[in-house]
């Protein structure tokens, strides 16, 4: 399409005229962005075709990665860099007086995800393409994303995320690949022409699932995979007779409306179940239809496909695959079950049994009657297997798929799939020894660990280009393709010149973020202060509350004895969304905002601390915050965080971790050196021991530590409570009267001491620079390239794509 600046400009001008009837000078910035996006999308079209041909011509196995979310962020810059056309486009646009950064800023963050689960999935797609493996994502085309967060009157307000209001230039609608998904109805037995009996679903409500495909472009290797977004539309074959067309359209709109509907109501929970089934049914049907069209049958299906279920949400793929093979393709149970066992792999993301997904039996019976029948039969056969293998009654009960009126989805996934993996070393060990102990004893070979990773090209090369250039100037560019080579940078950890350069780049990034904060929030922050960052989904176990309690402690100490108060100046940066129905998390956000309002408007306190809570935290904001951060807050209750990925991104950009021995923090500290991180708090074993003993009482801490008493009391009487009455009573009650479930007070003193150690470390500039360089140098292990290679070696067994040149 274009290989040089002249061809780029000719193509850009031609498309503007043909689509909008305008020349470059007259075109609106939205039109210029749209044309540039189309050119980038179409530039990858040839790679898309070549990769598809290589896969099909050579019968290569493909991975379908089912995830309810893919937090892909913006694609324009990432795709141009991966295609190697960024500089050509930048220079060509500059000839017209167009700053390419202005066009990049026109792109909204895609509303396809919320937290670490979705960002992990997006990193995996990026790395799989860059490593050359045929991996394709499947999710729903959410019309309004999760929600757009706004702070109003000190509270989180949820607004629609209208990310599709101007279209999504990188998607291609493919109606010829549409699938019919069936809900409700009833099952009936019928006699086939060959004299055998079979089951079929009748009187069902059909919904048309239409795919929108987005190319996922590898870095400089000619590989383009696919992220498929399924959208719900009216069936063009079977309209409902049991409801009005308007009611039917409302059902469709709900399916694709937004990510994670409010599950505090029965309607919301049922909608979540409908979304999950809609996704996996469309995805599995599409693969089976393509396989049957190409080969005439599904005999080689498990040779050509593997399905990775990212968390519990896509587990309905198991009974749906059985339904399709038996009811639509005429297979028997044993043959169908063999295919399921050869193609399904499951990734677990939580160690907390209460967080594992369970569905009321009546929900599935009503919405998916045939699928429920199959789940019942899976459960019956599993129980028969358990009895035959002498499993004791207690373990049998623990592993039941259907019990107490609920379907335990994870139990079905572990039984049916051939692989179960955790996402950090400690997380996997807890799964084996506690959460799924009975399953591990029965199926030890199914379990493995695959520590998460993030794509270092996006989170270091593109997000922090000056640091990337410095690294390449010392060790060459091989690390961009092979992240393990980053460890070569460790030899410069004590090089004074490199230390100064690294710290100068960090300061420049901090100035840029300070300017953004001033423009966006009218808050002045000091680039010479410690940028102390906690950016992650708001949840009690992630302990944003511990962080704000420490800030409140410092403020109260300042006001009590201003003459003798000392601390290294900090800018505390928060970024988090709370689920709309998670009232406790929303109350923590209100507390942070209330404290920020007091601290930021107190002239005395402002010399020592400022608080910035960014609105609507997402990928684009992370790309501004992470390169500027000095300290990475990873302070979850030990044993509760599966892995974490913000810890990895911050590490790559030279931030020092202050954290518990939880998730991937352990591996970060082991690799970069414990002396280069600030570790504190109870271990996972110590937490579990306290839980088992049942003798932890937060009132003992309250009565023995005046700082704790002052902070808790200030929830009613402090300056942040004046405008709010007893608004923070819920937080007090959760900590003091409900047993402090996540051990905030138990770790409070250790956290305060750790913060002091971090401050002392920061004052020793050489020591801090050494630690920063070591973190960056050793972060190559946490590239998702490494994770993908491990998944493929042990689970997927994919052959690399070799597209035509």
Q: Is the pLDDT of residue 804 over 90?
A: no
Q: Using an 8 Å Cβ cutoff, are 421 and 347 in contact? A: yes
Express each pLDDT in 105-125 by its tens digit: 999 999 999 988 999 999 999
Q: Each residue of 450-508: pLDDT tens digit?
A: 999 999 999 999 999 999 999 999 999 999 999 999 999 999 999 999 999 999 999 99
0.75 cut: is pTM over it? yes
Contact 663, 642 (CB under 8 A): yes
Work out the percent of the chain whose per-residue pLDDT is above 70.
100
Sign of CA dihedral 689, 690, 695, 700: positive
Q: What is the pLDDT of residues 344-368, one digit of tens each?
A: 999 999 988 888 999 999 999 999 9
Residue 520 pLDDT class (50, 70, 90 cuts): very high
Q: Is the pLDDT of residue 240 over 90?
A: no
Nearest to 109 by CA among 69, 65, 161: 161
Indicate whether 578 pLDDT > 80: yes
Helix (H/G/I), strand (E/B), else coil: 795: helix
For residue 512, the surrounding DSSP H or E stretch is helix 496-521
- Chain segment 739-797, per-residue pLDDT in tens: 999 999 999 999 999 999 999 999 999 999 999 999 999 999 999 999 999 999 999 99
Residues 273 and 316: their CA atoms lie apart, in Å, by 9
Give the distance, in angstroms, between the CA of residue 214 and the centroid of all CA atoms in the same chain.
18
Residue 161 CA to residue 178 CA, distance in Å, equals: 26
- Alpha carbon distance 160, 494 (integer Å): 49
pLDDT at 246 over 80: yes
Give the containing element (helix H, strand E) for 179. strand 179-183
Q: Above 90 in pLDDT, residue 527? A: yes
User: What pLDDT band is residue 249 in, cutting at 50, 70 and 90?
Assistant: very high
Q: Evaluate if residue 724 carries a pLDDT over 80.
A: no
Give the distance, in angstroms, between the CA of residue 758 and the centroid of all CA atoms in the same chain: 28
Closest CA to 501 of 460, 469, 458: 469
Residue 137, beta-bridge partner list: 65, 227
pLDDT at 352: 85
CA distance 239 to 204: 10
Q: For residue 519, what are the contacts with CB-CB under 8 A and spacing of at least 6?
A: none
**Contact yes or no for 361/407 (Cβ under 8 A):** yes
Sequence-distant (6+) residues with CB within 8 A of 229 are 112, 139, 140, 141, 171, 211, 212, 213, 214
Distances (CA, A) of 108 to 98, 414, 620, 649: 19, 38, 9, 21
The H or E element spanning position 309 is strand 305-310
Residue labelled with tokens 């499947």 = 138
Alpha carbon of residue 486 to chain centroid: 24
Rg of the chain in Å (alpha carbons)? 27
Residue 670 is predicted with a pLDDT of: 97
Show the DSSP H helices in 569-664 as ranges: 583-600, 603-606, 619-625, 646-652
Both tokens of residue 424? 């950090």
Instruction: Give the span between the Cα atoms of 113 and 132, in whole angstroms.
Output: 24
Neighbouring-strand partners of residue 179 = 209
Dihedral over Cα of 383, 386, 390, 391: its sign: negative
Distance, in Å, from the CA atom of 454 to the CA atom of 124, rounded to the nearest integer, reads 8
Confidence of residue 194 (pLDDT cuts 50, 70, 90): confident
Catalytic positions:
349, 536-537, 542, 645, 649
* Model confidence at 805: pLDDT above 90: no
CA-CA distance, 110 to 74, in Å (whole number)? 7
Specify whether the CB–CB gap between 769 and 15 falls below 8 A: no
**pLDDT for the residue numbered 1:** 73
Per-chain mean pLDDT for the chain: 96
Predicted confidence (pLDDT) per residue in 591-650, tens digit: 999 999 999 999 999 999 999 999 999 999 999 999 999 999 999 999 999 999 999 999
Nearest-angstrom CA–CA distance, 788 and 785: 5
Q: If you average pLDDT over residues 287-298, what whole number do you get?
A: 97
pLDDT of residue 727: 92
pLDDT of residue 2: 84
């Amino acid at each position: 399409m274009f290989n040089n600046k002249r061809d780029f400009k000719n193509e850009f001008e031609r498309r503007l005229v043909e689509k909008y009837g305008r020349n470059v000078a007259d075109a609106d910035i939205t039109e210029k962005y749209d044309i540039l996006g189309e050119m980038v999308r179409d530039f990858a079209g040839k790679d898309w075709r070549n990769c598809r041909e290589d896969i099909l011509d050579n019968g290569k196995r493909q991975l379908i990665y089912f995830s309810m979310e893919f937090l892909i962020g913006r694609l324009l810059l990432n795709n141009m860099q991966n295609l190697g056309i960024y500089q050509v486009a930048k220079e060509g646009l500059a000839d017209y007086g167009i700053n390419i950064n202005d066009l990049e800023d026109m792109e909204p963050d895609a509303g396809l995800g919320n937290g670490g689960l979705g960002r992990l999935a997006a990193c995996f797609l990026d790395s799989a393409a860059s490593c050359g493996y045929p991996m394709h994502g499947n999710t729903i085309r959410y019309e309004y994303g999760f929600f757009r967060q706004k702070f109003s009157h000190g509270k989180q307000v949820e607004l629609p995320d209208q990310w599709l209001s101007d279209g999504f230039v990188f998607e291609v609608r493919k109606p010829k690949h549409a699938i019919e998904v069936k809900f409700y109805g009833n099952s009936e037995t019928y006699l086939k022409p060959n004299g055998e009996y079979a089951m079929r679903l009748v009187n069902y409500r059909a919904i048309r699932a239409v795919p929108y495909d987005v190319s996922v472009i590898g870095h400089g290797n000619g590989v383009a995979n696919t992220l498929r977004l399924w959208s719900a539309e009216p069936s063009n074959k079977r309209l409902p007779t049991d409801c009005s067309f308007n009611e039917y359209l409302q059902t469709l709109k709900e399916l694709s409306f937004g990510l994670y509907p409010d599950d505090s109501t029965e309607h919301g929970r049922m909608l979540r179940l409908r979304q999950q089934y809609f996704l996996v049914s469309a995805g599995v049907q599409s693969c089976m239809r393509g396989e049957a069209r190409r080969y005439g049958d599904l005999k080689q299906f498990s040779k050509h496909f593997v399905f990775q279920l990212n968390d519990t949400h896509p587990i309905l793929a198991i009974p749906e695959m059985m339904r399709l093979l038996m009811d639509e393709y005429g297979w028997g149970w044993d043959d169908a079950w063999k295919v399921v066992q050869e193609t399904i792999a499951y990734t677990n993301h939580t160690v907390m049994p209460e967080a594992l997904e369970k569905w009321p039996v009546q929900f599935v019976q009503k919405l998916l009657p045939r699928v429920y029948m199959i789940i019942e039969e899976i459960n019956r056969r599993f129980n028969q297997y358990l009895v035959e293998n002498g499993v004791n009654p207690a373990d049998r009960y623990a592993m039941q798929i259907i019990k107490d009126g609920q379907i335990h989805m994870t139990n079905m996934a572990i039984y049916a799939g051939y692989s179960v993996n955790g996402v950090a070393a400690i997380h996997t060990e807890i799964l084996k020894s506690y959460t799924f102990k009975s399953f591990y004893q029965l199926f030890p070979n199914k379990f493995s660990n695959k520590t998460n990773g993030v794509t270092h090209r996006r989170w270091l090369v593109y997000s922090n280009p000056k640091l990337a250039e410095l690294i390449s100037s010392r060790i060459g560019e091989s690390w961009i393709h092979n992240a393990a080579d980053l460890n070569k940078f460790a030899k410069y950890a004590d090089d004074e010149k490199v230390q100064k350069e690294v710290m100068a780049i960090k300061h420049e990034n901090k100035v840029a973020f300070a300017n953004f904060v001033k423009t966006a929030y009218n808050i002045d922050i000091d680039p010479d202060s410690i940028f102390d960052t906690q950016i992650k989904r708001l949840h009690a176990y992630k302990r944003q509350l511990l962080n704000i309690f420490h800030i409140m402690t410092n403020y109260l100490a300042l006001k009590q004895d201003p003459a003798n108060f000392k601390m290294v100046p900090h800018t505390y940066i928060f970024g988090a969304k709370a689920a709309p129905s998670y009232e406790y998390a929303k109350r923590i956000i209100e507390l942070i905002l209330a404290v920020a309002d007091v601290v930021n408007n107190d002239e005395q306190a402002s010399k020592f601390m400022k608080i910035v809570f960014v609105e609507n935290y997402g990928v684009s904001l992370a790309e501004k915050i992470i390169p500027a951060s000095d300290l990475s807050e990873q302070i979850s209750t030990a044993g509760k965080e599966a892995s974490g990925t913000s810890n990895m991104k911050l590490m790559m950009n030279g931030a020092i971790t202050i954290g518990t021995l939880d998730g991937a923090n352990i591996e970060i500290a082991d690799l970069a050196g414990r002396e280069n991180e600030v570790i504190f708090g109870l271990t996972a074993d110590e937490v579990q021991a306290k839980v088992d003993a049942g003798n932890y009482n937060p009132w003992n801490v309250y009565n023995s530590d005046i700082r704790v008493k002052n902070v808790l009391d200030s929830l009613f009487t402090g300056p942040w409570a004046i405008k709010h009455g007893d608004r923070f009573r819920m937080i007090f009650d959760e900590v003091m009267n409900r047993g402090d479930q996540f051990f905030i007070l138990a770790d409070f003193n250790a956290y305060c001491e750790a913060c002091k150690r971090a401050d002392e470390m920061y004052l020793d500039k050489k020591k801090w620079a050494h630690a920063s360089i070591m973190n960056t140098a050793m972060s190559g292990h946490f590239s998702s390239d490494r994770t993908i290679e491990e998944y493929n070696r042990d689970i997927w067994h994919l052959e690399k794509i070799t597209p035509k040149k």
